[in-house]
Amino acid sequence: MKAWTVVDLFCGIGGLAHGFVQEGFNVSAGIDLDDTCKYAFESNNHSRFVQRNVELLTSSELVQIFGQSRRRILVGCAPCQPFSKYTVAESEDRKWHLLRSFLRLIIQLRPEIVSMENVPELEKHVIFHDFVEALEEHGYNVTECIVDTWRYGVPQTRRRLVLFASRLGRISILSPTHNGRRQKTVRSVIGRLEKIAAGENSESDPLHCARSLTDLNLRRIRSTPEGGDWRDWHPSLRLKCHKKASGKRYEAIYGRMSWDRLAPTLTTHCCGIGNGRFGHPEQDRGISLREAALLQTFPSRLRKNGLRDLGSLQSQ
C-alpha cells in the first residue's frame, strides 16, 4: 500500500491515521488546529503534524503535503460535537463550516479516494445530502452507511456514519467480523490491568491514571454496583436533578460499566464518573486514561504527551 499516500484532516492524536499506518499505507501528514496533539501524532505515526485551521487550508498547501504521489487518499473526520444530539443548539451556518471546508478541498484537489466518519445524526441534515450530491456531481462513486462498530471488534455501543468516495469505482463496506457471541467486552479489553485507586497513577504506565474523587463522589461510586447507577443510591446521595421526574433522562450518569458487556459510547469526558456510565466495573473510580484508550481500540503501546492531551484522545 506504500503507493498510496494519506493525509488526515482534523487528525487529533491520529487514531485514524494509525489504522492506515498499521495497514501499510504512507501517511504523509495529519492536520489539526490543536497543537497539543503534535507529540502524540508524530511519535505514534512517524509522520508529520501540521498545525493549521482546515477552514483556512488551501488546495495548494495540500498538493505540497501530498508530494509527488498520484494515488491520494484524503480523510476527514471533523469534530462531531456540532452534529451530536448532545450539543446545545448553535448557529446553523457556523456549525457547517468544517464540512464545507472539507468539500471545498476535495473539489479543488480531486484526490482519488475520500473517506469521512461522523455521528449518525449528521445523516439527518440537508448539508450531508448536499455533500454527497456534490461529490457525485464531481465524478465520485459514493458509499455511505451507519455502522455498529462492535460488529467490527470495537468494545463499545458506538454507531458511526461512514462514507467512502472514489473516482476509481465504488468501494464496498466490509462485512461484519463479530457477532453477539464473539463481541469484545469490557473485561476482555481492560480486565487484566493493574488495580489503582481514584487519584492514583500506575508506576509502570503513566497513562494508567484515574481522576481524584471528592468524598461525596467516592461514597456514590461505592454505593453503585457493577452495571448500576444513581438509582441504586440512598436518597441522601442523589443530586437534585435525580429527585425530579426529569432525572430519569440521566440514568447513565454516575454509572458503572458491566464487565461482560460492551462499554457505552465513550465521549470527550469519559474519565469522569459524572459524565456517563464511565465508572470502573468494580474499582471505586472512573476509568483511567489507558482504559479509555484501549476501549477506543488504541494500541497498548500508545504514547501521549501527558494529561493535557486527555480531551484530544477522548474525542477520537
Q: What is the pLDDT of residue 150?
A: 96
Mean pLDDT of 232-254: 76
* CB within 8 Å of 32: residues ≥ 6 apart: 9, 10, 11, 12, 41, 49, 50, 51, 52
Mean pLDDT of 219-247: 86
Which span out of 1-15, 81-95, 123-137, 298-312 was modeled with the highest average pLDDT? 123-137
Q: What is the pLDDT of residue 214?
A: 96
Residue 244 has pLDDT above 80, yes or no: no
Mean pLDDT of 110-130: 94
Mean pLDDT of 257-272: 93
Q: What is the pLDDT of residue 283?
A: 98
The region of weakest confidence among 4-13, 185-194, 225-234, 250-259 is: 250-259
Q: What is the pLDDT of residue 181?
A: 77
> Is the whole model's pTM more than 0.75, yes or no?
yes
Contact 161, 256 (CB under 8 A): no
Mean pLDDT of 89-100: 67
Q: How does the average pLDDT of the chain come out, rounded?
A: 89
DSSP state of 200: -
Q: What is the pLDDT of residue 81?
A: 57
Mean pLDDT of 66-71: 92
Mean pLDDT of 152-162: 95
Q: How far is CA 12 from the centre of its chain?
A: 9
Mean pLDDT of 288-295: 95
What ranges make up the beta strands (E) of 95-158? 113-118, 141-148
Mean pLDDT of 263-272: 91
Residue 311 has pLDDT above 50, yes or no: no
Mean pLDDT of 234-257: 77
**Catalytic residue selected from 11, 37, 77, 80:** 80
Catalytic residue list contains 37:
no
Residues facing 113 on adjacent strands: 73, 166
Q: What is the pLDDT of residue 243?
A: 66
Strands of the sheet with 141-148, listed across from one edge = 48-51, 26-32, 5-9, 72-76, 113-118, 159-166, 141-148
What ranges make up the beta strands (E) of 33-108? 48-51, 72-76
Q: What is the pLDDT of residue 85?
A: 55
Residues facing 7 on adjacent strands: 29, 74
Residue 193 has pLDDT above 60, yes or no: yes
Mean pLDDT of 103-128: 95
Give the Cα separation of 129 and 206 in Å (integer): 44
Share of the chain above pLDDT 90, in %: 74
Q: Report all structural domains of the chain as residue ranges with CATH numbers, in order of start.
A: 5-166 (3.40.50.150), 186-314 (3.90.120.10)
Q: What is the pLDDT of residue 195?
A: 97
